[in-house]
Structure 1
Amino acid sequence: MSPGSSGLNVLLLAAVVMCALSVVSSQHKARKLFIELQKEKEHAQQMEVEWGQLQLELSTWATPARVEKIAARQLQMQLPVNGQVRFIRVEPNGQTDKQP
């Protein structure tokens, strides 16, 4: 063996060790990111379930029968009789035409 090849061997050994450490480090990062991705997917799934529940709750709270019942009981509102209803037509030029 020549004296120069010993230094080359040490340099190559250092390069191999650095590459091995780099591979281990990148795999560790990849695993951490994958775990984080799985947690975020689970969180997104939970949010989808909650969104569906909120949509269902909204449709329940906004049913016309419920709104009418609350309007009558709590706000003392009543449906207008025929004589109380008036229609107003807006013409394209901005003028209004009131009809009884």
Structure 2
Amino acid sequence: MMRLLLALLIVANVVSALLVVFARHEHRQLFVQLNKLQRERDELNIEFGRLQLEQATWAESNRIDQVARERIGMKFPEGAETVVIRP
């Protein structure tokens, strides 16, 4: 009877040790994945900031005016070219 109890305790101890090793290994893998995702998040935040700055630059009225003049030849009408229509 004592031998059986001792054998069960040894088996339970070995199983417990294996489960601890498995849990630590899984924890390490998840920690590495967390660090990778945090780096990815930081890179995406930097890229988002760059894109916001670029969008603000392209949306400036001076930039729009410059593109309209250079690419499609737009210009402000002269006083004689302006027609006012009243109801």
TM over 0.5: yes
What TM-score do you get using the length of structure 1 for normalisation? 0.74
Number of the residue aligned with 1:14 = 11
Higher strand share: 1
* Equivalenced residues, count: 85
Pairwise CA distance, 1:7:
1.1
Shifted more, 69-78 versus 24-33: the winner is 69-78
Which runs of 5 or more structure 1 residues have no equivalent in the other structure?
87-98
Q: Any idea what SS the aligned residue of 2:73 has?
A: coil
Aligned counterpart in structure 2 of residue 40 of structure 1, from 28, 31, 37: 37
Query: What runs of 5+ residues in structure 2 fail to find an aligned partner?
Result: none
2:26: which partner in 1? 29
- RMSD over aligned Cα atoms: 1.8
TM-score normalized with structure 2 length: 0.84
User: For residues 38 and 73 of structure 1, what CA distance do their matches in structure 2 show?
Assistant: 48
Higher relative contact order (CA 8 A, sep 6+): 1
Matching residue's letter, 1:58: Q
> Aligned pair in 2 of structure 1 residues 36, 73: CA closer, same or farther (>3 Å)?
same
More helix by share: 2
